[in-house]
Structure 1
Amino acid sequence: MGSQASRLGVVDALRGFAIVSIMLLHNIEHFDLYYAVAGAPPWLAALDKAVWEVAFFLFGGKSYAIFALLFGLTFHLQSQARKERGEDFRVRYAWRLLLLFGFGMLNSMFFHGDILTIYAVIGLCLLPVARLRDGALLALAAILMLQPYEWLVLADALRHPEVQTGDPVSWQYFGRINDYLTGDSMLRAWAGNLTNGKLAVIHWSWENGRIFQILSLFMLGMLAGRRGLFEAGAQAMRFWRRTLLAATVLFLPLYTIRTLLPDWVASAAVRRPLVTMVASWSNFAFMLVLVACFVMLYQGGTLTRALRLLAPLGRMSLSAYFTQSIIGSFIYYGFGLGLYEVTGASVCLLIGALLALLQCAFCAWWLRRHAQGPLEQLWHRATWVGAHRPA
């Protein structure tokens, strides 16, 4: 989730932006411990509903996508740096992903919604495609973004629209989460997160098209690195201006269709794959809007100085992401403060914003004294164990 080599300030800041938005979403979700506060006054209930809807409109399905895009970009930067030294990075990168999987499993003890383990497994798919030409890589990314599995499901549903689909498999696992997250046993919560919780997230990711989209975004991030789209320059700025326009034009009808699909399609069997596809495309389009706006503001806007404050957080994204889970589980789960019972989305948004500010301040302080974050340094050293130290 960060590389010491080939640092691009805008990439660090954009990754920091994603960390902040993830922090806000995870807090208003009580870190996946969903609970409606009883007895809230009508005005607060209405405010909570508005906060929830706005936060998920802005960041739901987009923050993780930014991370996936930058994950692919980082893979390219690291591979390119080693290639220039006449070395093949792929075997070392596979080891690096195994280490990331280990970090992810530790993180999953505190928060079952961990994305690191999923990135580590899917990231292995980058190794066989790393040397494809740009055109072939773009074509493969486009096919994956189209959600090929959902098209097969849709084709089958159109032949049998009357079939009852039943609840998604992930719901069975999510239904058991409160049994151990609301209790006062930390060990029981850890065990539940590593078993039932992990299965819930894996099933949910598959059911919502995340697996294909993540791999597609990895590949698009590689292409962005090859084309220098995050480097300062007129050509890159033209690309992001055009991307902003195209993504906006694409998002508006997709979001409208996504909203109206339940009214347009009566068959649940037909509607489910359609919703999955349109939601993934809608989120992708809006993610591009966010990235394009961020890059243009960073490279040439009046907010450049403010956005640079996010760069230290982006450089320490692994440490920050892991810390979020530890702090969040203690704040909301039953073995900690148990605030899930008394905090709605509005209060949780304030808690998330405060934690994000503290993380930004801590990361800036840490990086004035160290070259990397604590987990980043550990990951870096373990990656290159037994090898000559990389430049």
Structure 2
Amino acid sequence: MEQHKSFSTSLQRITVIDALRGFALLGVILTHMWQHYGIFSFSGMGQNEPLFPQLDEALRWLLQNAIMGRFINIFAFLFGLSFFIQMDRASKKGIDFRKRFLWRMAILFIIGIIGNCFYTGDILSIYAVFGVLMVFLYKCKNWILIVVITLLLIGLPRILTVSYNQMVKVEQTTNTGTAQTLENRPAVRPQPSNMEKPSFLNSAKNNLTIGLERKLNYQFGLFGRGYITLALFILGLIIGRMRFFEQVEIQKKRNFILFAGFVLAVVVVNWIVGLFPPQDTRIFMRPDADISPALLEL
């Protein structure tokens, strides 16, 4: 009798991925704790001096250099990797998982929007949209995905946006004789806004309008964090295709060489960056910035 195909048929889990996922979640929680979960102003509360300033400084350095941003990157990478594992294992059972995955992303998007009513820094809705894109990228060859990752990491979407804004600015200057300031909302992390009548409904409305706009501006505007996240999603897909974590227990020498190579690369890159004068390169991403003086200072 032919075995019935089912999503529930169990397959062996990859323990190291489960461990990394838990490790990444812990790091994300620690980062948000340090950032006070997006609450950056405390009206009526003074800043107290730490009881142990040296320990406080050491912990701050550890959070900034070893935790903040790193675990969020790992979590995004694991999302892309988990996407491949789900698609691949369903394919081995003869099941097309794309519709089920899209349904899951729809549910995740709804959960993200509900979460955004309470906390504007919620990332689930962004992950859901990227998850939909991953379905369309799944059949692409690795070299195409690598090109996409490279373009995202070098900031091509932001370069195109800035170039367009500069062209509009030049055109306005030519037509009116005066440069019109383009609409520029600072791409800062979402922060709570003051409301005339604080209530849950007003807070939710504020978070789903102004707060959501600020989040999108942070993800795809000046900081461009969303493009990095999407690149990590795609990288997870590629690593999944290579069966890297399925062989991690038997390829210990390879893992050690890769680890040493990554550590050396970090040291070299930081050394090269230190050779250049300090420069806030994000000024190039401002829609109303005159980038010529900034370029001359480099």
**TM class by smaller structure:** 0.7 to 0.9
| 2:34 maps to 1:20 | no
Q: Which amino acid aligns with 1:31?
A: Y
Alpha-carbon spacing, 1:249–1:146, altered in 2? closer, same or farther (3 Å) = farther
Task: Give the drift of 1:92.
Answer: 2.2
- 8 Å CA contact 2:159–2:285 kept in 1: the answer is no
* Structure 1 segments (4+ residues) deviating >6 Å: 153-160, 163-167
Q: Closer, same or farther in 2 for the Cα pair 1:64/1:240, shift >3 Å?
A: same
Distance 1:169 1:41, change over 3 A: closer
C-alpha contact (below 8 Å) 2:24/2:75 kept by paired residues = yes
- Cα pair 1:177 1:196 within 8 Å, conserved: no
Query: Aligned match of 1:141 in 122, 128, 149?
Result: 149
Question: In the TM superposition, what is the alpha-carbon distance from 1:119 to its structure 2 partner?
Answer: 0.6
Matching residue of 1:115: 123
Q: CA deviation at 1:38?
A: 1.6
Which residue identity is paired with 2:40? Y
Of 61, 78, 82, 1:74 maps to 82
Change (3 A) 1:45 1:201: farther
The one-letter code of the counterpart of 1:169 is: P
Tell whether the 8 Å contact from 1:230 to 1:236 is kept in structure 2 after alignment: no
Deviation at 1:98, TM superposition (A): 0.7
1:247 equivalent to 2:253? Answer no
Equivalent in 213, 226, 240 of residue 225 of structure 1: 240
Alignment of 1:197-346 (within 5 A): 197-206=211-220, 207-233=222-248, 236-255=251-270, 263-265=277-279, 269-270=283-284
Distance in 1 (CA, whole Å) between partners of 2:56 and 2:128 is: 35
Question: 2: distance between equivalents of 1:151 and 1:200?
Answer: 20
Aligned with 2:244: secondary structure? coil
Residues 151 and 230 of structure 1, relative CA distance in 2, 3 Å threshold: same
Question: How do 1:41-52 residues align onto structure 2 when only pairs under 5 Å count?
Answer: 41=49, 43=51, 48=56, 50-52=58-60
Q: Which has the higher helix share?
A: 1
CA contact (8 A) 2:120 2:215 kept: yes
Aligned to 1:170: 187
Q: Is the 8 A contact 1:104 1:114 kept in 2?
A: yes
- Which residue of structure 2 aligns with residue 196 of structure 1? 210
Cα deviation for residue 113 of structure 1 reads 1.0
- Paired amino acid for 1:103: I
Q: CA deviation at 1:267?
A: 8.3
Unpaired segments ≥5 residues, structure 2: 1-7, 170-178, 288-298
- Are residues 18 and 98 of structure 1, via their aligned partners in 2, closer, same or farther at CA, if it must alter by over 3 Å? same
Match of 2:91 among 83, 86, 93: 83
1:33 aligns with 2:39: yes
Mind listing any 5+ residue stretches in structure 1 that lack a counterpart?
Answer: 274-391
Distance, in Å, in 1 between the alignment partners of 2:18 and 2:234 is: 19
| CA shift for structure 1 position 204 | 0.6
Shift of 1:76: 0.8
Residues 46/79 of structure 1: CA separation in 2 closer, same or farther (3 Å cut):
same
Per-residue displacement from partner, 1:211-269 (whole Å, max 9, x unpaired)?
Answer: 222221111111211112112446643443233223223323444566776x4448874
Contact 1:77 1:225 (C-alpha < 8 Å) held by counterparts: yes
Question: Normalized against structure 2, the TM-score is what?
Answer: 0.73
Q: For residues 224 and 233 of structure 1, what CA distance do their matches in structure 2 show?
A: 12
User: Cα 1:268–1:226, aligned 2, differ >3 Å: closer, same or farther?
Assistant: closer
After TM superposition, give the deviation of residue 200 of structure 1 in Å.
Answer: 1.5
Q: Does 1 or 2 have the higher relative contact order (CA < 8 Å, sep 6+)? A: 1
For residues 280 and 25 of structure 2, what CA distance do their matches in structure 1 show? Answer: 38
Please give the TM-score of this superposition, normalised by the length of structure 1.
0.57
Q: Note if contact 2:248-2:255 (Cα within 8 Å) is conserved in structure 1.
A: no
Q: Is the 8 A contact 2:152 2:228 kept in 1?
A: yes
- The equivalences for 1:87-102 within 5 A come to 87-102=95-110
Counterpart for residue 7 of structure 1: 13
CA distance in 2 between partners of 1:166 and 1:44 (Å):
45
Question: Of the two, which has the highest radius of gyration?
Answer: 2
